[in-house]
Amino acid sequence: MTDLTMRLQEIGLSEYEAAVYAALLRRGTSTASDVSAEADVPQSRVYDVLNALETKGFAVVQPGRPKKFGAIDPESAVDQFCRVRRQQYRSELDEMRQVGAELSDLVGDDDGGAFDRDDADVSWSYSDRHQILDKLAALTGGATEEVLMVTTPTSFERVVNHHAERLVETADGGATIRALVSTDRAVAAPVLEKADELMEIRRVEDIEGRLYTYDASHIVLAFRNPADEGYVGISTRSPHLYRTFAHLFGLMWADSTAVERR
């Protein structure tokens, strides 16, 4: 995977979409057959992928026999994609708020008795990185003793940017925050500067999944799901599992290196 295709996947393109768009950038206007060979995407999938890229604003279609496809320049494509995603997200939020209001009307007092239960060792899964970030933000805001993170530069940047205020409140409240961030690339300087004031940060090699623990009991695991090219998050409350992860964290921390500051 190239840096380009990796970045494209980070903003929301699938693996095939990223590969095909990169191929269009390299080749210029091309037939679907040429793109399939260049991107190493099966012929049976390439038309669907090209149509998806057109819908998302990354490609244009030139009518003819055969059709040809061209790449929109990256800056314009990403701007358009952001506008589309922003509108989709707003529509989804409006729909969720409406459903939430309807649920509140449907759920009576007798149906809500289990809301305040604090069961241990119960797991919940999240299939979207926005849900995962919201869960991490809630756990960060509730932490009073310790937050441990093992994560990638991209996910670390998302965490710091997504709930910086919660991290500030937790740090000001006296909780210890430590982060182990993989060394596959540098952390963005503004993020590092912001995080430096709140936590201890070290670098470690060969991390692909993400692990977050809170107050010696709550654990969140997050990783990319190869089946649908999205993210999966799993949270659970387990002091026993926490002790194992905390031990592993200590071993990695001892083997980590300091952050290089420019």
DSSP 110: G
pTM over 0.85: no
pLDDT bucket at 227, cuts 50 / 70 / 90: low
39-59 mean pLDDT: 91
70 φ, ψ to 5°? -130, 160
Instruction: Return the percentage of the chain with pLDDT > 70, whole number.
Output: 87
Do residues 64 and 143 share a domain? no
Closest CA to 219 of 227, 229, 228, 209: 209
Q: What is the largest CA-CA distance in the chain?
A: 68
Terminal Cα-to-Cα distance of the chain (whole angstroms): 27
**Of the residues 12, 40, 74, which one is the last residue of a structural domain?**
74
Which residue range forms the structural domain that includes residue 69? 3-74
Do residues 176 and 69 share a domain? no
Report d(CA 23, CA 39) in Å as an integer. 5
Do residues 177 and 52 share a domain? no
**Is residue 16 predicted with pLDDT exceeding 70?**
yes
Do residues 170 and 236 share a domain? yes
In a domain? residue 60: yes
- The count of domains in the chain is 2
pLDDT of 35 reads 93
14-43 mean pLDDT: 92
Q: From residue 248, how far is each of 143, 213, 232 by CA, in Å? A: 20, 12, 22
Mean pLDDT across the chain, nearest whole number? 84
**Is residue 118 predicted with pLDDT exceeding 60?**
no
Q: For 120-151, how does the pLDDT look when each residue is reduced to its tens digit (9 = 90+)? A: 445 566 666 778 888 889 999 999 999 999 99
pLDDT of 134 reads 86
Question: Which of 3-17, 38-52, 125-139 is predicted most confidently?
Answer: 38-52
210 Cα distance to chain centroid: 10
In a domain? residue 92: no
**Is residue 153 predicted with pLDDT exceeding 70?**
yes
**Is residue 257 predicted with pLDDT exceeding 70?**
yes
Q: Say which residues have a Cβ less than 8 Å from residue 13's Cβ, sequence separation at least 6.
A: 21, 53, 56, 58
Cis status, amide bond into 66, omega within 30 of 0 = yes
Q: For 63-117, how does the pLDDT look when each residue is reduced to its tens digit (9 = 90+)? A: 888 889 999 998 898 888 888 888 888 888 888 888 877 776 776 555 555 544 4
Report d(CA 14, CA 244) in Å as an integer. 34
